[in-house]
Amino acid sequence: MSDNPPIEFDFPDLRRWETGGAAPYVHVRDSGKPGPTVMVAALTHGNEVSGAIVVDALLAAGLKPRQGTLIFSFNNIEAYLSFDAKNPFKSRMIDEDFNRTWGRLDQPATTLETRRAQVIKPFVECADFLLDLHSMHDDCVPLMLCGPLDRGVALAQKLGAPVDIVRDRGHAAGMRMRDYGGFGDPKDTKTALLIETGQHWRASSVEVAKDVTARFLVETGIVEEADLPAGWKQPTPSGQRVVQVTHAIATKRGNFTPAKRFEGQEVIAKAGTVLGHDDGEPVTTPYDNCVLVMPSINRPLRAGVTVVRLGRLL
Ligand SMILES: [Zn+2]
């Protein structure tokens, strides 16, 4: 018996997108008319397949921009191609996390991921708007990670879905693609969003990836809704909420015991509520109405790994 979650959809054969583009597995469509450059990226993590299904479908449909330029990329394609259903989490990456390399791309590439990021970098530099399509290890509600800047929150609110918007600063372990260059510069106007569509292999993750991508492409003005496949856009939720991440709780030695099972995005009413014990030391909520963002609390973790991020409702 395997403890791995079920895989609820077929993985697309992406090899047809290797050639014929601006770079391997990168395709650029220029309308010939002035307008924004808009990039949709899939497979920043190789086993996060919902975004790959979306980009594969849009390329296959021949989606063209009405103005500006549209860029599609499959980022860590080598990791995707290494997928093994017996060990499905391993294909997140080959040598290292593609999405932690972006602060050191001026240095010689020593890993498959830094080499690939150097190929992807000029396209990210061209883009005015970037949507990076991810999914989650754990079964959690979809989250839009809009970065630390006001304009990220504003764009996420214009999209109108998903319900949960997370304002965050990224990872101490290295810069994400979505924070690179002008995207992370408070004085620039380039705006990036990172959607976590739900658990990697849930059919619902594909629905979320389709919905959010459709909203993003229409909002940036690059296409009209009628240009997109029917049925992608879902009903707009009645409201959204924004959570500011304030703390990242890491386990010191990988010896964290949760107080209960957490699903993610719970609001813990009282400050001082025990979330669990790390090496026997209680970990408590620092303020009232504390939101648990993407808890990895329910599974064994290595030393130093983030167990949960804590946030305030804005
Ligand atoms: Zn990811």
The verdict on whether omega for the bond into residue 162 sits within 30 degrees of 0, i.e. cis, is yes
Distance 218 CA to ligand 1 centre (A): 24
Quote the ligand 1 centre to 298 CA distance (angstroms).
18
Domain boundaries, the chain: 15-227, 243-313
Q: Residue 233 pLDDT more than 90? A: yes
State the distance from the centre of ligand 1 to the C-alpha of 301, rounded, in angstroms. 17
Examine domains 15-227 and 243-313 and report if their fold is the same: no
Is residue 304 scored above 90 in pLDDT?
no
* Least confident range of 95-99, 133-137, 167-171: 167-171
For the domain with range 15-227, which CATH number is right: 1.10.10.60, 3.40.5.50, 3.40.630.10, 3.40.1280.10? 3.40.630.10
pLDDT tens-digit series, residues 52-80 = 999 999 999 999 999 999 999 999 999 99
pTM score:
0.95
Task: Please state which CATH number belongs to domain 243-313.
Answer: 2.40.50.100
- pLDDT value of residue 2: 58
Give the percent of the chain with pLDDT over 70. Answer: 99
Ligand 1 centroid to 197 CA: how many Å?
10
Lowest mean pLDDT, pick from 170-174, 214-218, 266-270: 170-174
Distance of CA 278 to the CA centre of its chain: 28
pLDDT tens digits, 15-37: 999 999 999 999 999 999 999 99
Q: Residues 216-226: what's their mean pLDDT?
A: 97
Cα Rg, the chain, nearest whole Å: 19
Q: What is the mean pLDDT of the chain?
A: 95
| C-alpha of residue 31 to centroid of ligand 1, in Å | 30
pLDDT at 169: 87
Calculate how far, in angstroms, residue 60's C-alpha sits from the geometric centre of ligand 1: 24
DSSP string, the chain: ---SPP--SPPP--GGGSSSSSBTTEEEEE-SSS--EEEEEE-SSTT--HHHHHHHHHHHTT---SSSEEEEEETTHHHHHT--TTSGGGGG-SSS-GGG-TT-TTSPP-SHHHHHHHHHHHHHHH-SEEEEEEEESS----EEE--SSHHHHHHHHHH--SSEEEE---BTTB--GGGSGGGG-TT---EEEEEEEEETT-HHHHHHHHHHHHHHHHHTTSS-GGGSPTT-SPPPPS--EEEEEEEEEE-SSS-EEESS---SS-EE-STT-EEEEETTEEEE-SSSSEEEES--TTS---TT-EEEEEEEE-
Instruction: Tell me what the mean pLDDT of segment 88-92 comes to.
Output: 94
Segment 117-127 shows an average pLDDT of 98
